A and B are shown apart, each in its own frame.
Chain A
Amino acid sequence: NAGVTQTPKFQVLKTGQSMTLQCAQDMNHNSMYWYRQDPGMGLRLIYYSASEGTTDKGEVPNGYNVSRLNKREFSLRLESAAPSQTSVYFCASRGPNQPQHFGDGTRLSIL
């Protein structure tokens, strides 16, 4: 049982480049989330999806887009990467009234 899988684990981009971070879960969870974590900080919610076909903005959505491709997959896209988006990105999922399960993160550096 893999849980929440994020790809890639590491990525370096140049300013202005685009990329998509992938997340998949195999626990049949309805809800999925994308967070960013900056050094020494807690997690900040970027976007979440309460169920397949729905997405909502979190605390820091600017500069990002998301797609809930199906129940398993929730991707995060940076259309034009900026140095301020250098961070560790975590995906999570959860079932009703249950705690979140997290992936191991994607470490993204933007030069």
Chain B
Amino acid sequence: SQQGEEDPQALSIQEGENATMNCSYKTSINNLQWYRQNSGRGLVHLILIRSNEREKHSGRLRVTLDTSKKSSSLLITASRAADTASYFCATTVGLTFGEGTQLTVNP
């Protein structure tokens, strides 16, 4: 079963706008991770949030975690064309990834 499922599947915005992606999972977790994948490349880790944390920031990234709803969100503020990529969430339990959100930032 999928441990991380992202929503929406695709998102297209203009440069400078904010992008929000959501992730849902099924079982208890120790932490949740967000990754980015540029076309033709491997996944790159962006941010890890532990189960006892509710919000975490890293530069233009903000991640929230709601363990009661088994969901997380990734917010990218002031988006840039270089943020165009697929974004995946993953949990350590099951070691599985969802299908990702394809983000397109138009210049």
Contact = CB atoms under 8 A, between A and B. Distances in A.
Contacts of A44: 96
Nearest to A101: B45
Nearest to B31: A97
A103 B99 contact: no
A28 to B, nearest CB: 17
Contact of B95 (A40, A45, A101, A103): A45
A44 B35 CA distance: 15
A2 interface: no
Contacts of A105: 40-42
A45 B98 CA distance: 11
B42 A48 contact: no
Interface residues of A, number: 22
Interface residues of B, number: 21
Contacts of A40: 99
A12 interface: no
Nearest to A91: B42
A44 B4 CA distance: 12
A111 interface: no
Interface in A33-78: 33, 35, 40-45, 48, 58-59
A42 B42 contact: no
A100 interface: yes
Contacts of A92: 42-43
Interface string B82-107: 00000010100001111110000000
Contacts of A100: 33, 35, 43, 45, 90
A42 B40 CA distance: 13
A42 B98 contact: yes
12 contacts: A4-B42, A35-B97, A42-B100, A43-B97, A48-B95, A58-B95, A59-B96, A100-B35, A101-B45, A102-B42, A104-B41, A105-B41
Given A44-B96, A45-B96, A99-B33, 6 more contacts: A4-B42, A41-B99, A42-B97, A45-B95, A48-B95, A100-B45
